[in-house]
Structure 1
């Protein structure tokens, strides 16, 4: 599938992986419709520094709100080339960024938050974007015949901790497991209208959020001990290339791609050291 001339919604579009993915798509001739929570003026200042800045469109949107998503998509359809909306790269998510608790019940509020944004938000993005794509084909009714041509592709960002949630991701991990299930179910539901749905699962990606509470040094040691090769943080650009591969290959559907260098994500007690004390901020 060729992306030239097609438009893609990128949620979390001004974040590390979102921005890298948007830039790669634009470099291949696509248009990037960036959804994020930044005020419009700040977003436009940042986009002005991008190459081919005229190929980006920005809309402030809350991924966990159907009204917000539908409003942003309706506005986007009015400014992008007619009929060009083809898919989404869904990167927006939240992580509690708090210490390990002593009681599991202390994580209930965090779990409620991450489920609302990471799980419900993924369903909301997939559903509203798919509806917006299908709105370009008015011949579709409630039970339309299966189409033959490819009409869209959605990529959800999961995580390796969604595949096998470790202790240090008590709420975030299961919320990303939900992303895997939503991806598979959505791929089947949207297949008749020619829309593919896949997920990409990064391991540890270096970011400003990662560089808090001693987490960088903690995870450097974990990667050195338990990754196969290479034993380092993943770059946003490496994730973006995996995302665009799934977009461009029309045979990839309901697929969950790990980009993790074979990291075995265990909670190490090597040397009798309590890992909960080594990195005060883990999840």
Structure 2
């Protein structure tokens, strides 16, 4: 699949992974449709500093609100070249950043939040983007017809802690496990429409979120002790290049790609120290 001339919605598009992915899409001749929570003027000022800013489109939106997302997509379809919408890279997510307590039930509020954004938000984005792609073609009876041409591709951002959720990712991990299930179910549902769906699972990524508080310090020992090679945090461009692979390779479908240097997210009790104790954790 060739990216040239194709438009992709990128949620969290002005974040570290989203913007890195957008820049590669634009370099390859595509259009980057950035969905984020920044005010329009702030976002457009940032975009003006990018190479080929005319190939970027922006909409302030809420990935948990169906009506707002539909309005954003309707507006974007009128701005991008006719028939060019080809998919999405869904990066937007939240991760709690609160101290531990000894009660698991204290995490219930966090769990409700991450399920709303990371799980429900993923389902909503996949569904509405797929509907927007299909709106560019004559109606299809998906129960009786199957197209033969490729019409789109969606990449959801999961996490290695979604594959094997450890204690230190008590709520975030299971919310990303939901992303894996949504990806496989959506891939099967959208197959008749010629739309592929994959997920990508980074390990620990250098980002403003990771740099906040003591997060990087908290996970540094885990990276040093349990990564195979290289033993370091991943950079956004490394994740973006893997996303581009999933977009371009038409045989990749219902696939979960880990980009983690072989990290095994083990909760180690070495020296009898509770690894969950830290100034800042999940």
Please confirm whether the aligned pair reaches a TM-score higher than 0.5, indicating the same fold: yes
Instruction: Tell me what 1:188 maps to.
Output: 188
Contact 2:167 2:276 in 1 (8 A): no
Instruction: Tell me what 2:16 maps to.
Output: 16
Tell me how far apart the structure 1 counterparts of residues 124 and 21 of structure 2 sit (CA, whole Å): 20
- Residues 59-99 of structure 1: CA distance to partner in whole angstroms, max 9, x if unpaired? 01100111111110000000000000000000000001111
Tell me how far apart the structure 2 counterparts of residues 141 and 80 of structure 1 sit (CA, whole Å): 27
Instruction: Tell me what 1:280 maps to.
Output: 279
TM-score by length of 1: 0.98
Tell me how far apart the structure 1 counterparts of residues 12 and 77 of structure 2 sit (CA, whole Å): 19
- Residues 180-227 of structure 1: CA distance to partner in whole angstroms, max 9, x if unpaired? 000000000000000000000000001122123322122122101110
Tell me how far apart the structure 1 counterparts of residues 184 and 111 of structure 2 sit (CA, whole Å): 22
Return structure 1 stretches of 4+ with deviation > 6 angstroms: none
Give runs of aligned pairs for residues 201-212 of structure 1, distance below 5 A. 201-212=201-212
Tell me how far apart the structure 1 counterparts of residues 182 and 199 of structure 2 sit (CA, whole Å): 10
Tell me how far apart the structure 1 counterparts of residues 193 and 248 of structure 2 sit (CA, whole Å): 18
Instruction: Tell me what 1:269 maps to.
Output: 269
1:144 Cα shift? 5.1
Tell me how far apart the structure 2 counterparts of residues 209 and 5 of structure 1 sit (CA, whole Å): 33
1:143 Cα shift? 3.7
Instruction: Tell me what 1:197 maps to.
Output: 197
1:31 Cα shift? 0.1
Contact 1:6 1:30 in 2 (8 A): yes
Tell me how far apart the structure 1 counterparts of residues 192 and 99 of structure 2 sit (CA, whole Å): 45
Contact 2:224 2:232 in 1 (8 A): yes
Give runs of aligned pairs for residues 100-179 of structure 1, distance below 5 A. 100-141=100-141, 143=143, 145-179=145-179
Give runs of aligned pairs for residues 239-258 of structure 1, distance below 5 A. 239-258=239-258
Tell me how far apart the structure 2 counterparts of residues 40 and 136 of structure 1 sit (CA, whole Å): 26
- Residues 18-46 of structure 1: CA distance to partner in whole angstroms, max 9, x if unpaired? 00011111111000000000000000111
Q: CA RMSD in A?
A: 1.0
Instruction: Tell me what 1:7 maps to.
Output: 7
Tell me how far apart the structure 2 counterparts of residues 166 and 32 of structure 1 sit (CA, whole Å): 34
Runs of 5+ consecutive residues of structure 2 not aligned to the other structure = none
Contact 1:63 1:124 in 2 (8 A): yes
Runs of 5+ consecutive residues of structure 1 not aligned to the other structure = none
TM-score by length of 2: 0.98
In structure 2, relative to structure 1, the CA distance for the partners of 1:79 and 1:265 (3 Å cut) is same
